[in-house]
Amino acid sequence: ITPVFCNATLSDARSETVELANIDWDNLGFAFLPTDYMYNMKCSQGEGFSNGELQRFGNIELSPSAGVLNYGQGLFEGLKAYRKEDGNILLFRPEENALRMRLGAERMCMPSPTVEQFVDAVKATVLANKRWIPPAGKGSLYIRPLLMGSGAVLGLAPAPEYTFLIYVSPVGNYFKEGVAPIHLIIEHDLHRATPGGTGGVKTIGNYAAVLKAQSAAKEQGYSDVLYLDCVHKKYLEEVSSCNIFVVKGKVISTPEIKGTILPGITRKSIIDVARSQGFQERLVTVDELLDADEVFCTGTAVVVSPVGSITYRGERVLYNKGGVGAVSQQLYSVLTRLQMGLVKDNMNWTVEL
């Protein structure tokens, strides 16, 4: 892999006008499309990350004994870049992803890039892949930072070397339903997280652990799986890939963060937007969910996805007659208008490139 752009500055890349990649921008889903460049930075255990560089996108070499391959010592992040009508590029709260990666790295015994290193690397990777950022209104560039134990280990121990990588891919809607409501099934036998475990950090194993239930749900026509807490099997946790909110009357509630739920950045942003409208962060029971007026999910990939139905122990509850509820619609609109730069960012959440 050849390093590139080592001496190019961000402002060189910013001012460069590039032609859009030649792909079908009207039919983007959430599938991987290789782009031009990726970011790579390494460090040894006990040292800080340094000498990060952009490289041509391509496969990476790992020892078969790498910590990430053998013992799952790995984390990932997800954030998006949007192209505005005026051609400028917006990132949404990238420093929040950097901070979350640092917390996760501490739990997984890994060193992590500083917030500044993380954000600078994200900016450089986005600008190097500018031609892959969808035109305004057609989608976004999904940014996937990875942190992994890349050094070789055999006995169980933290790896001696770590790699921070960022790759990007243009995306549209996450669920095949598009912007239409999704249909969830509650899983009561398998669990995604346990108290004291790693459910609250974005470690790669959390996502492998939900594939079995997700595949079974998809085979039955559901969009995804909603998990309950593993102790009482009664409190809502999260969906495989996103957080959940319920609306009853004028109150919007979401399960509180207590180590088993991923602290989503979209979740946090929606809470900040909804705070003035009657909001609660608390334990939410499955009975309350089934009795709710409206349900929606939040996440970087899923944005704000309305839930059309929930199936629990063979019974199906429909929300808003299977259509989009007013609260989800309003929050989706507030959030995406901010992310796309269509309104003034009074929250100071967006970073313009």
Contact set with ligand COI (CB under 6 A): 78, 207, 241, 299-301
C-beta of 88: minimal distance to ligand COI in Å? 23
C-beta of 209: minimal distance to ligand COI in Å? 12
The nearer residue to ligand COI, 127 or 265, going by C-beta atoms, is 265
C-beta of 245: minimal distance to ligand COI in Å? 15
What's the 3-state SS for 152-181?
Answer: ECCCCCCCCEEEEEEEEEEECCCCCCCCCC
Catalytic residue of the set 130, 176, 202, 248: 202
Where do we find the tokens 């909001």?
279
Phi, psi of 280 (to 5 degrees): -135, 135
CA pair distance 168, 32, nearest whole angstrom: 9
Closest CA to 193 of 107, 270, 290: 107
The nearer residue to ligand COI, 204 or 295, going by C-beta atoms, is 204
C-beta of 241: minimal distance to ligand COI in Å? 4
C-beta of 348: minimal distance to ligand COI in Å? 22
By beta carbon distance, the residue nearest ligand COI is: 78
Relative to beta strand 182-187, strand 224-228 is: parallel
- Residue 144 Rama label (left phi>0; alpha psi -120 to 50; beta): beta
The nearer residue to ligand COI, 300 or 309, going by C-beta atoms, is 300
The nearer residue to ligand COI, 37 or 92, going by C-beta atoms, is 92
The nearer residue to ligand COI, 241 or 260, going by C-beta atoms, is 241
Cα–Cα distance list, 227 to 46, 57, 79, 136 (Å): 37, 36, 23, 35
C-beta of 103: minimal distance to ligand COI in Å? 15
C-beta of 301: minimal distance to ligand COI in Å? 3
202 is catalytic: yes
CA pair distance 302, 311, nearest whole angstrom: 20
CA pair distance 119, 145, nearest whole angstrom: 10
The nearer residue to ligand COI, 49 or 142, going by C-beta atoms, is 142
CA triple 90-94-99, angle to 5 deg: 175
Q: Annotate 55-97 with DSSP letters as a single string.
A: EES------TTBHHHHH--EEE--EEEEE-TTS-EEEE-HHHH
DSSP state of 243: E
DSSP state of 34: -
Per the CB < 8 A criterion, the answer to whether 193 and 199 are in contact is yes
The nearer residue to ligand COI, 247 or 304, going by C-beta atoms, is 304
* Residues assigned a catalytic role: 202
